[in-house]
Amino acid sequence: MRKIFLIIDTINDRFGNVIAYLNVAVVGIVCYEIVARYVFNLPTLWASEGMVMLSGFMYVLAGGYAQLYKRHVRIDLLYSRLSEKGQAVCDALAFIFFCFFMYALIWHGYLFALESVQLKETSGTPWDPIVYPIKCAVPVGAALVWLQMTADVARKVYNAFKSEENRG
């Protein structure tokens, strides 16, 4: 199991590091638009929408990376006061509800993306770019978060409940 969890960690780490480079593109688009608009008085049709689309794409696909590095928001008021076993039980119970949500997000995201691909959907704006790559990112990003959360909870439960002689 450790190898499988290491593979999941590695996938999310590498995926997150690659996706992070899209920030450079977003900054480039914003800088281009600022110069075009305010220096040359030539605003673009595509810059604002392109920046929003790339940012959304990054946001959706970086969820597994954020989970890997524990960067999601959690309210620690009670959780931090629990023992290691208490935290593991809390995580395991929350994971059950999390799985229902992620199933819905992955399955319905897939159906949403499939329809978008079949329609060759575009944004309907004056620039009118394709939007199905972003919609396809939703089930992929959700699957990455689900995989990472599964690995994290399994590790936490295992470490909390393994016997004292195996702790060494």
Enumerate long-range contacts of 42-50, CB under 8 Å, 24 or more apart: 45/125, 45/126, 45/127, 46/127, 46/129, 49/123, 49/125, 49/127, 49/129, 50/127, 50/129
pLDDT value at position 73? 78
Answer yes or no: is pLDDT of 165 > 70: no
Answer yes or no: is pLDDT of 133 > 80: yes
How confident is the model over 5-23, as pLDDT tens digits?
999 999 999 999 999 999 9
Mean pLDDT on 124-135: 95
pLDDT value at position 125? 93
pLDDT value at position 53? 95
Domain map (residue ranges) of the chain: 2-166
pLDDT value at position 167? 54
Q: How confident is the prediction for the chain on average, in pLDDT? A: 93
| pTM more than 0.75 | yes
